[in-house]
Structure 1
Amino acid sequence: MQWWGVYACLCAPVAFLCTLISAQLLQQQTCRLIRPSRLPTVAKEGNITLGALFSLHDAVLESELSFTSQPEPAQCTGFNFRTFRWMQTMIFAVEKINRDSRLLPNITLGYKIYDSCSSPLHALRTAVELMGGREEESDGTECQGKVPVVIGDGGSTLSLVVAHFLGVFQLPQVSYFSSCACLSNKKAFPAFLRTMPSDFFQVNALAQLVQHFGWTWVGTVAGDDAYGRGGAQIFNDKVTKLGACIGLYEIIPKNHAPAEMARIVQRIGGSGTRVVLVFALEQDAKALFSEALKHNLTGVQWLASEAWITAAILTTPEFHSILQGSMGFAIRRAEIPSLQPFLLRLHPSSFPDDPFVLQFWEEVFRCSLQNGSKGVGSDALRPCNGSEDLASVKSIYSDVSQLRISYNVYKAVYAIAHALDAMLRCVPERGPFPGGACPDTLSIRPWQLLYYLKKVDFINELGEETKFDVNGDPVAMYDLINWQHLASGEVQYATVGRFDEIRSANLEIEEENIIWNGYQRQVPVSVCSSSCPPGTRKAIRPSFPVCCFDCILCAAGEINAVECATCPPEFWSNLKRDACIPKLVEFLSYGDTMGMALLAVALLGSCATLVIGLVFACKRHTPLVRANNSELSFLILSSLWLCFLCALAFIGQPTAWSCQLRHTAFGIAFCLCLSCILGKTMVVLMAFKATLPGSNAMRWFRPPQLRAVIFLCTAVQVGICGAWLGLAPPFPRRLMTRESARIILLCDMGSTLAFSLVLGYIGLLAAVCFLLAFFARKLPDNFNEAKFITFSMLIFCAVWIAFVPAYVSSPGKYTVAVEVFAILASSYGLLLCIFAPKCYVILLRPEKNTKKHLMGNSMTEKRF
């Protein structure tokens, strides 16, 4: 209890003192800065003031902090003419809007511009300065800052710092050069918008470029900041998904340490990649290429990010040897009318209070505006006399041929102006805020302006639409730039392609206009391993990226991919082994040599048969023809003619009807022919038997009986063929094997038994004919026909006995060719052996075609 009492006694006076202080603070409801600003500023008063951040210097020299006195202002070094042009473009756009009676009528725009000196810390200082020391009053109301919106900053790293700070207050920020994809995150940066496309689209375009030219072994070098690391990582991920490999990935240190820069250059030279993407700011890219010059690094095709593809500091002659042919994407170029005269208006006498104009003048003309010359000795600058003329000096500041970022600044100013115009034109009770409220135009709230900025959608006087998507990003459109050196020694930014996010075919490339590194017209090759030649497959090397491999020969019937893939049964690999093509269909066709030869032989045989038939018809009254039973002779000739013609059914692509026709027609035609020959042989044999006393055998072999024998013998074959067609007819079949590059199209027999019966029955008839003719071969006669039938049957049997093993062993279309050859050979054997001797006598030895000669001394006249 004693301790609590002592504690209460001590706290009572403190509480009383706090109450007095609080009451005093409540009476002072004002916002004030701790100290006045000492940062260089370019400002102009207006009804509405726009804040802006530009990195007019490339570096900042921070003073040492002793913590015993107020630190001195930071000193910025390395004046950047390009960024100064961007700043002047903003002023140009503001003044142009102020003169426009249609946009923001009766409203004057002002501006307050700070130099962020390419330093995140300095950028944050200037952002706090633009906020005007924003605080909250004791009653909860918000003290008004100096600006409702900020244009800038340039680099992504700078914008990240500023956007984090401004986002807390929902103060809109419109950047003209920050492209990091991370800034599209609206949860982290709710008030950030930009007229510069996100790196996501630029990297997508670069990945498509790599894929288009077939580069699979690519190097990446990035700056050590959010822009470089973020863009390079997205690029590496995208090209890896497209099948390429990253041969090296290096980070350029911000301090550009010589040892580390030398190691990076040596790593590039030893990586084997011929295509290297440098995703960095122009200062980092310059440090890398300066080191590359020291090590004489050549033969590398450099890909550029948009940060340095049009950077003037790299177009000096010293870099021509290594950067010629460099390629990269830059945002679309535009022409801003009347901008160049506006840029050339500057003069120190016209802007005596502008610290940046004075410094710019000294840098351009290398003179001093101070009373005394700057520098010491040979570095001393001459005094400026005021007669200098900007138009007479060629510099990146006055060059308006490559207005890209300047155009982004121009669009940012106009986007803000259109948002403000929409706010001012709000109709009460129809506003976008709760209850239809409109924004307070007398005291613009940043969060209200942010709402209107997100809704901006207009077409400027150049015909281009300006709007922001849900992430605050514009539509991505790029030009593909190729560095080409002119004869004059200057660098030309040749546009050799385009990338448009809206188009279905995003990337368009004019390959014929590209000049590659080394003044080459041929696309450079950048691969870890060359593509496998046709017929080989890739074999990945252990512990190497997938782009590094060896080539192993593929087996026949396979195509090369990551692994050799077997073609489907109906397909075969092409000669290059890179695609499966339909197998060649093989059959005995009229087009190949063998088919044409067999066709000619068949037609010749059929014509010869017709000729012989014509000879017999013309000489039918001669003794020789009459003695050989002209009726049977004509029937044999007709059946032989059919045998020759049925060979044609075996030639050509097999179909259902041709498969059924060829075997049945062949079987029936030969059966008819052999039945007739059998009848003729029996007549010859019986004719001599009938000459014996008391024999009446010939009455059983008169024409009606012979016709019956021929009909019965042929009917048996017809019955076999009919059963064959009815139960299991032949049909076309495709014979495919994975080991063959051809599909054999043949006729499947349907029933092997039926085919065997057809051949067996023909063989039976041939054997009977041969035996009967053999017995009658020595019968006395000047023209013994049995002798010729014996020879014909001998040839017939020999052909068909040889046919069986040849038919079984022949592959593909040769199987059919063997069958056709057997048909033609046996038909020719019958035709020549039986009818050739008769034609010889009829046509060439007519003196022997007499009854006396045929009868001989021992024969009586007998008609067969």
Structure 2
Amino acid sequence: MVFKMPSPLEECRSIGNPSDLPVLVKEGNIVLGGLFSLHDAVLESPLLFTSPPPPAQCFGFNFRTFRWMQTMIFAIEEINKNPNLLPSITLGYQIYDSCSTPVQALRTALAVTGGQFEEESGNLKCSGTVPVVIGDGGSTLSLVVARFLGVFHVPQVSYFSSCACLSNKVEFPAFLRTMPSDFFQVDALAQLVKHFGWTWVGVVAGDDAYGRGGAQIFADEVRKLGACVALHEVIPKNHGKSHMARIVERIQESGARVVLLFAVEQDAGALLREALGQNLTGIQWLASEAWITAAVLSTPQFHSILQGSMGFAIRRADIAGLKPFLLRLHPSFDPHDPFIQMFWENLFGCSLHPKNDDDVDFNDTPSCTGLEELASTKNIYADVTQLRISYNVYKAVYAIAYALEAMIKCEPGKGLLHEGACPNMSTIQPWQLLEYLKQVKFTNDFGEEMKFDENGDPAAMYDLINWQLTADGDVKYVTVGKFDETTRNKLEIEDEAILWTGTTKEVPLSVCSKSCPPGTRRAIKPNFPVCCFDCIFCAAGEISNQTDAIECEQCLPEFWSNTWRNSCVPKQVEFLSYSDTMGITLMVVAIVGFCCTLMVVLIFACNKNTPIIRANNSELSFLILVSLSLCFLCALPFIGEPTPWTCMLRHTAFGISFSLCIACILSKTVVVLMAFKATLPGSVVMKWFGPVQQRAMISVGAAVQVVICGVWLTVAPPTPRKLSSRETTQIILLCDEGSVLAFSLVLSYIGLLASLSLLLAFLARKLPGSFNEAKLITFSMVIFFAVWVAFVPAYVSSPGKYSTATEVFAILASSYGLLVCLFFPKCYVILLKPEKNTRKHLMAKTT
């Protein structure tokens, strides 16, 4: 295949035919291109591929965008009149309508940057018509235009394209904007969600780069903050009825009270009309910047569902002289302006085309008289109260002007071009202007510093707008906060100035599950997002003292959770105290036993010379009674809070007292047994069991126990101990034995003495006598053993203070058993049967 080199004429030619595109032109030394979507849609003819397609037919005139276009013209004329800014240069413009369609936007971009033929010295030369383009409005349109212009390094300054994707300088090297990136708007919206505690938020996006990109960034950001996206729907560009209805149904079913609508005003309006049709109420709408101040949605039609809506809008300004400039228009103002005619006909609903008698007007549109007054209309075009995007257009024009000013004032060697070179102002190249635009920095008449960062983005500053109805029924855009990404505290909100979903001051609650109060924790539901959970009461011994706790905290070992599980309180200290019923009862029983013992001592002392006392060895009887009184008293140290002294006293006093008592009983048993053996003729046994021997036997019996206890206290004495478990609500105070061996020896020795007494008493049980001590001793020892044998399993199985109470009960029961069995029969005779307390009676029974 052979390629033919193009001729010079063929090297420089326009792609397509730009003459079929309506354009507003004004000549100047430097011409600025402008792309504005003056219409909302375009009617494309079917492509036959047999002939060039006919010109596109745009419809749906947008008065708001027309105001933006007029603002560009206003700024250019203001600069041309300014003697201090570009005094030697006149700016011109070429403005096209991109009709909100990517194809049409690309055609206008081709047209505005197309070449023209100039004949100089007999040669054809190709040069571009404009070195810079302002526009387009939508992010989807700017994506198409920016890719094309970026190839030729033609700078593009957008006033309304906020898609974060356009910050990519690899893909879009020549793209700049006066509109902050959606990244910052989404960050502001996410901070808003966090501020009001919303964790279940719906997201509905337009089906374009602006809507999809912003909604996805928002969904990612709120998830990082711990919130969840209840639904994520996309509005189709054809606004299909069934699809729109399904989106509204999904919003109703999700349970989300807060829904972000991230879309341009056309898509937002389509969804809101469907929401009206299905009577969707009670939703707090969060608006993206694209429609938060759109007048087309602030009509009474939407008041029922949009009052209280909230969103972030870019900074506004009051541009002096703009309103009279807007109202200057008239069909006769500029016959070559193709857009004035469209504007006038759509605004007044008339036709400027003269009619012949033969013309058939199917729409029955009246003719315009030319006397219509623009100032008398109430239209968004002349509304200068919310100049936000218009202000962006204004800043874009001035940014270009200041960049040109810097190029003019460039000093050789200090320029921004290669090796400090300065541009040739007679032949400005787009890439040269691009370098100066990147570095432009100025402060405008409104006190705002304007510059672009490394991504071509301006500093992000937003006003938080709240829709509130006035007394006249009109929507008022009330500023209730601001977001400034250059400050430390980015988000500032005046909560008291906000009206939610109407006139209420109460912040709407939008959660999948209500917050878990202190004392509970979150339990994630299977197959549900993390924001959907159940509230589980903290287990005993655990607390949560904050809302929405993930886990319950374990209390320290000495603390326990309160009833509401929201704080740890000291555990209840448990011991056998004098204040509780059990302690009081045991103390009373011990004191009564002690008093009974004293009464018996008193009775015996008053009747010590009676036969029954003398016959039963009064000295041993008194010694047994004294030891029994000690046994009753040794139960008292077991009651009360354990201390080092009471712990050492408890078991040692108990061991010694009972050893003394049993030793006395053992001695008395031996004496009784030997006394009857001594009655045999020639027996000398009693001389070995006289009073001295009896005392020695008792002393030795008690001394052995004293030695055991002394060694115990020396080597490993009992000490107070706190017995606590994480599973119990109490701290048990008890006395640790110190040495289990020593404690076992004490009990074993008492058991040994008791066993000997029981054995000897059992052997002497059939000895004659009216008051045979052997029978009484046998019975008392049986009771003693029964009590202490039952004590062992009861002591081991009793929890806490009940083990101590069991031990005290065993002490008292065995003491009462000894007292009753050994002494009450004698007291009965002394007090109630004195006739039996005679020598004759005793001798008779003995015989």
Where on the TM-score scale, by shorter chain, does this alignment land: which range?
0.7 to 0.9
Q: Tell me, in whole angstroms, the C-alpha distance in 2 between the residues paired with 1:791 and 1:408.
A: 112
TM-score normalised per structure 1:
0.72
Q: Secondary structure at the match of 2:271?
A: helix
Q: Tell me, in whole angstroms, the C-alpha distance in 1 between the residues paired with 2:241 and 2:571.
A: 70
Residues 54 and 152 of structure 1 are in contact (CA less than 8 Å); yes or no, is this contact kept in structure 2? yes
Alignment of structure 1 residues 433-582 onto 2, 5 Å:
433-457=417-441, 460=444, 462-495=446-479, 501=485, 513-516=498-501, 521=506, 523=508, 527=512, 540=526
Q: Secondary structure at the match of 1:177?
A: coil
AA matched with 1:413: V
Q: Is residue 371 of structure 2 the alignment partner of residue 385 of structure 1?
A: yes
Q: Cα–Cα, structure 1 residues 134 and 281, in superposed 2: closer, same or farther, change >3 Å?
A: farther
Q: Deviations over 1:491-540 (max 9, x none)?
A: 3445566555456776677777352389795636575x999997996664
Q: Tell me, in whole angstroms, the C-alpha distance in 2 between the residues paired with 1:575 and 1:525.
A: 31
Alignment of structure 1 residues 15-34 onto 2, 5 Å:
25=8
Residues 783 and 854 of structure 1 are in contact (CA less than 8 Å); yes or no, is this contact kept in structure 2? no
Q: Tell me, in whole angstroms, the C-alpha distance in 2 between the residues paired with 1:540 and 1:124.
A: 50
Q: Secondary structure at the match of 1:401?
A: coil
Q: Tell me, in whole angstroms, the C-alpha distance in 2 between the residues paired with 1:717 and 1:669.
A: 9
Residues 195 and 411 of structure 1 are in contact (CA less than 8 Å); yes or no, is this contact kept in structure 2? yes
Q: Tell me, in whole angstroms, the C-alpha distance in 2 between the residues paired with 1:297 and 1:741.
A: 54
AA matched with 1:715: V
Q: 2:108 aligns with which of 126, 147, 158?
A: 126
Aligned partner of 1:283 in structure 2 is 266
Worse-matched range after superposition: 820-829 or 623-632: 623-632
Q: Deviations over 1:331-359 (max 9, x none)?
A: 33423352664555524389435554565
Q: 1:719 aligns with which of 688, 697, 711?
A: 711
Q: Cα–Cα, structure 1 residues 120 and 35, in superposed 2: closer, same or farther, change >3 Å?
A: closer
Give the superposed CA RMSD.
6.2
Aligned partner of 1:3 in structure 2 is none
Q: Tell me, in whole angstroms, the C-alpha distance in 2 between the residues paired with 1:464 and 1:157.
A: 28
Give, in angstroms, the shift of residue 154 of structure 1: 0.4
Q: Tell me, in whole angstroms, the C-alpha distance in 2 between the residues paired with 1:734 and 1:118.
A: 76
Aligned partner of 1:396 in structure 2 is 380
Q: Tell me, in whole angstroms, the C-alpha distance in 1 between the residues paired with 2:621 and 2:292.
A: 105
Alignment of structure 1 residues 186-201 onto 2, 5 Å:
186-201=169-184
Q: Tell me, in whole angstroms, the C-alpha distance in 2 between the residues paired with 1:855 and 1:197.
A: 120
AA matched with 2:148: F
Q: Tell me, in whole angstroms, the C-alpha distance in 2 between the residues paired with 1:32 and 1:485.
A: 53
Q: Secondary structure at the match of 1:648?
A: coil
Alignment of structure 1 residues 203-222 onto 2, 5 Å:
203-206=186-189, 220-222=203-205
Aligned partner of 2:132 in structure 1 is 149
Q: Deviations over 1:661-699 (max 9, x none)?
A: 776543212112213324554676688889989746445
Q: Tell me, in whole angstroms, the C-alpha distance in 1 between the residues paired with 2:769 and 2:639.
A: 36
Q: Cα–Cα, structure 1 residues 594 and 180, in superposed 2: closer, same or farther, change >3 Å?
A: farther
AA matched with 1:85: R
Worse-matched range after superposition: 530-539 or 340-349: 530-539
Residues 803 and 819 of structure 1 are in contact (CA less than 8 Å); yes or no, is this contact kept in structure 2? no
Q: Tell me, in whole angstroms, the C-alpha distance in 1 between the residues paired with 2:93 and 2:104.
A: 19
Q: 2:806 aligns with which of 809, 822, 839?
A: 822
Residues 248 and 275 of structure 2 are in contact (CA less than 8 Å); yes or no, is this contact kept in structure 1? yes
Aligned partner of 2:153 in structure 1 is 170
Alignment of structure 1 residues 48-447 onto 2, 5 Å:
48-61=30-43, 74-94=56-76, 109-133=91-115, 144-206=127-189, 220-235=203-218, 244=228, 247=231, 249-254=233-238, 256-258=239-241, 261=244, 277-297=260-280, 302-327=285-310, 329-336=311-318, 338=320, 341-343=323-325, 345-348=327-330, 351-353=333-335, 354-357=337-340, 359-361=342-344, 363-366=346-349, 379-385=365-371, 388=373, 390=375, 392-447=376-431
Q: Tell me, in whole angstroms, the C-alpha distance in 2 between the residues paired with 1:458 and 1:703.
A: 118
Worse-matched range after superposition: 454-463 or 771-780: 771-780
Residues 782 and 854 of structure 1 are in contact (CA less than 8 Å); yes or no, is this contact kept in structure 2? no
Q: Cα–Cα, structure 1 residues 715 and 263, in superposed 2: closer, same or farther, change >3 Å?
A: closer
AA matched with 2:574: L
Aligned partner of 1:803 in structure 2 is 791
Q: Cα–Cα, structure 1 residues 550 and 730, in superposed 2: closer, same or farther, change >3 Å?
A: closer
Give, in angstroms, the shift of residue 189 of structure 1: 0.8
Residues 757 and 781 of structure 2 are in contact (CA less than 8 Å); yes or no, is this contact kept in structure 1? yes
Q: Cα–Cα, structure 1 residues 717 and 249, in superposed 2: closer, same or farther, change >3 Å?
A: same
Give, in angstroms, the shift of residue 153 of structure 1: 0.8
Give, in angstroms, the shift of residue 803 of structure 1: 2.8
Q: Tell me, in whole angstroms, the C-alpha distance in 1 between the residues paired with 2:495 and 2:774.
A: 87
Aligned partner of 1:862 in structure 2 is none
Give, in angstroms, the shift of residue 722 of structure 1: 4.7
**Aligned-residue identity in percent:** 47
Q: Cα–Cα, structure 1 residues 495 and 70, in superposed 2: closer, same or farther, change >3 Å?
A: same
Q: Deviations over 1:643-664 (max 9, x none)?
A: 42244345xxxxxxx6x87765
Instruction: Report the number of matched residues.
Output: 805
Residues 53 and 126 of structure 1 are in contact (CA less than 8 Å); yes or no, is this contact kept in structure 2? yes
Q: Cα–Cα, structure 1 residues 684 and 261, in superposed 2: closer, same or farther, change >3 Å?
A: closer
Q: Secondary structure at the match of 1:309?
A: coil
Q: Tell me, in whole angstroms, the C-alpha distance in 2 between the residues paired with 1:500 and 1:762.
A: 88
Q: Tell me, in whole angstroms, the C-alpha distance in 2 between the residues paired with 1:423 and 1:633.
A: 123
Q: Tell me, in whole angstroms, the C-alpha distance in 1 between the residues paired with 2:479 and 2:317.
A: 15
Q: Tell me, in whole angstroms, the C-alpha distance in 1 between the residues paired with 2:603 and 2:399.
A: 113
Q: Secondary structure at the match of 1:397?
A: helix
Residues 59 and 76 of structure 1 are in contact (CA less than 8 Å); yes or no, is this contact kept in structure 2? yes
Q: Secondary structure at the match of 1:469?
A: coil
Q: Deviations over 1:419-459 (max 9, x none)?
A: 44444454432334433334445543332332333334555
AA matched with 1:445: Q
Q: Tell me, in whole angstroms, the C-alpha distance in 1 between the residues paired with 2:418 and 2:294.
A: 48
Q: Tell me, in whole angstroms, the C-alpha distance in 2 between the residues paired with 1:29 and 1:565.
A: 73
Q: Cα–Cα, structure 1 residues 34 and 640, in superposed 2: closer, same or farther, change >3 Å?
A: closer
Q: Cα–Cα, structure 1 residues 497 and 372, in superposed 2: closer, same or farther, change >3 Å?
A: same
Q: Tell me, in whole angstroms, the C-alpha distance in 1 between the residues paired with 2:175 and 2:465.
A: 29
Q: 2:655 aligns with which of 668, 671, 674?
A: 671
Give, in angstroms, the shift of residue 460 of structure 1: 4.7
Worse-matched range after superposition: 597-606 or 751-760: 597-606
Q: Secondary structure at the match of 2:146?
A: helix
Q: Tell me, in whole angstroms, the C-alpha distance in 2 between the residues paired with 1:146 and 1:573.
A: 83
Q: Tell me, in whole angstroms, the C-alpha distance in 2 between the residues paired with 1:609 and 1:463.
A: 100
Q: Cα–Cα, structure 1 residues 69 and 677, in superposed 2: closer, same or farther, change >3 Å?
A: closer
Worse-matched range after superposition: 703-712 or 178-187: 703-712
AA matched with 1:523: P
Q: Cα–Cα, structure 1 residues 672 and 32, in superposed 2: closer, same or farther, change >3 Å?
A: closer
Give, in angstroms, the shift of residue 177 of structure 1: 0.9
Q: Deviations over 1:312-346 (max 9, x none)?
A: 1122222334444544x333342335266455552
AA matched with 2:392: N
Q: Name structure 1 gaps, 5 residues minimum.
A: 1-6, 651-657, 860-864
Q: Cα–Cα, structure 1 residues 271 and 690, in superposed 2: closer, same or farther, change >3 Å?
A: closer
Q: Secondary structure at the match of 1:672?
A: helix
AA matched with 2:287: A
TM-score normalised per structure 2:
0.73
Q: Tell me, in whole angstroms, the C-alpha distance in 2 between the residues paired with 1:431 and 1:719.
A: 103
Q: Cα–Cα, structure 1 residues 451 and 277, in superposed 2: closer, same or farther, change >3 Å?
A: same
Aligned partner of 1:760 in structure 2 is 748
Residues 48 and 147 of structure 1 are in contact (CA less than 8 Å); yes or no, is this contact kept in structure 2? yes
